[in-house]
């Protein structure tokens, strides 16, 4: 007789509220970027294996070379994936707003992943430009998913400014350092009402798991998959990790204690099992 739980038991045990941002419902709590893959085909496969249904893209000058190849958009099925255009590479609010407008015109979507960066070396978000751009875009009808630092008070300001989703960085973009300040993310979760997606710095599966265990709604990553030795394998790992972390969070973990708490009963042991009297 198999001891594998029947699907109904697993469904009941893992019941979760749907993941919804600004009225958009996502089947997966993992969002994936489309950058830095070796090819369009690898991009397509990685997205598929990640289980994600929301992907980010960047807005850049079109290649005017007559020998142009295919477009990324030819490889992303819009019936399967919600596309979230980003404003990556913008270092002030004005260019971020312009980029968002171009993305909205191109995709006919109000969604935007807003990035206003401070410098090229750290790619840390510029808080002032980010706040200004959030206000302007929200006022213009955009649904702003805003990339920000792990400063909880800034997250509150961004929500007040109209962001529909706050996306604190775990560590610098592409750095693979994971979530450096878990407590800041937890505090952000306490103070902010809109969904939180940890975005940036994720390096491997355990980082995703840890982030989800903090109680956030989702994780966005790109380099962790695209830069792995085996991206497709890592995409699968991430798919499992986001589920594992979310379910572990919902399950309510045990507390941490200094001393042991035996897993097997002490009652009913055979004579002599305790070696005479218990040692000090």
Partner 1 sequence: MADTPANVDVAVNGVATQVPAGTTVAGLIERLGLRPELVAVEIGGALVPRARRSERVLAQGEAVEIVTLVGGG
64 makes contact with partner 1 (CB under 8 A) = yes
Q: Which of 128, 107, 125 is nearest to 116 (CA)?
A: 125
Pick the closer one to partner 1 by CB: 89 or 215: 89
Question: At 91, is the secondary structure helix, strand, or coil?
Answer: coil
Q: For this structure, is 121 an active site residue?
A: no
How many whole angstroms separate alpha carbon 263 and alpha carbon 184? 33
Q: Are 179 and 211 in contact (CB under 8 A)?
A: yes
CA 214 to chain centre: 12
Letters for 246-275 (x = contact with partner 1 by CB under 8 A, - = none) are ------------------------------
CB neighbours of 145 closer than 8 A, spacing ≥ 6? Answer: 21, 84, 111, 112, 113, 114, 163, 164, 165, 167, 197
Question: What crossing angle do the helices spanning 152-160 and 127-139 adopt, rounded to 10°?
Answer: 20
Q: Which of 222, 231, 234, 246 binds partner 1 (CB under 8 A)?
A: 222
The residue annotated as part of the active site, out of 36, 113, 121, 256, is 113
How many whole angstroms separate alpha carbon 136 and alpha carbon 139? 5
What is the total residue count of the chain?
280
Map the footprint of partner 1 across residues 80-99, applying CB under 8 A. Answer: 83, 85-86, 88, 98
149 makes contact with partner 1 (CB under 8 A) = no
Q: Are 144 and 109 in contact (CB under 8 A)?
A: no
* Segment lying near partner 1 (by CB under 8 A), choices 50-58, 133-141, 183-191, 242-250: 50-58
**Least Å distance between CB 207 and partner 1?**
15
102 makes contact with partner 1 (CB under 8 A) = yes
Q: Which of 51, 103, 129, 245 binds partner 1 (CB under 8 A)?
A: 103
Contact positions vs partner 1 (CB under 8 A): 33-37, 43, 56-64, 66, 68, 71-73, 83, 85-86, 88, 98, 101-103, 105-107, 173-174, 200, 220-223
Known catalytic residues? Answer: 113
């Amino acid at each position: 007789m198999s001891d594998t739980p029947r699907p109904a038991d697993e469904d009941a045990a893992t019941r979760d509220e749907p993941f919804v941002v600004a009225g958009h419902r996502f089947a997966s709590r993992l969002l994936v970027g489309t950058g830095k893959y070796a090819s369009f085909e690898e991009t397509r496969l990685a997205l598929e294996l990640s289980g994600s249904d929301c992907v980010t893209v960047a807005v850049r000058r079109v290649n005017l070379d007559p020998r142009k190849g295919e477009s990324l958009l030819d490889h992303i099925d819009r019936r399967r994936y919600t596309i979230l255009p980003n404003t990556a590479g913008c270092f002030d609010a004005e260019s971020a707003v312009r980029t968002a407008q171009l993305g909205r015109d191109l995709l006919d979507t109000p969604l935007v992943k807003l990035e206003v960066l401070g410098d090229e070396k750290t790619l840390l978000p510029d808080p002032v430009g980010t706040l200004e751009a959030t206000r302007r875009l929200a006022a213009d009808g955009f649904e702003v998913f805003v990339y920000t630092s792990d400063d909880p008070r800034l997250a509150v300001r961004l929500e007040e400014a109209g962001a529909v989703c706050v996306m604190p960085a775990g560590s610098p973009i592409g750095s693979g350092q994971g979530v450096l300040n878990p407590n800041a993310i937890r505090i952000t979760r306490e103070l902010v009402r809109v969904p939180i997606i940890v975005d940036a710095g994720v390096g491997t599966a355990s980082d995703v798991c840890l982030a989800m265990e903090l109680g956030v709604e989702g994780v966005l990553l790109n380099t962790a998959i695209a830069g792995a030795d085996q991206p497709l394998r890592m995409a699968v790992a991430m798919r499992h990790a986001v589920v594992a972390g979310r379910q572990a969070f919902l399950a309510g973990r045990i507390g941490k204690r200094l001393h042991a708490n035996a897993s097997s009963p002490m009652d009913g042991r055979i004579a002599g099992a305790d070696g005479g009297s218990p040692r000090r």
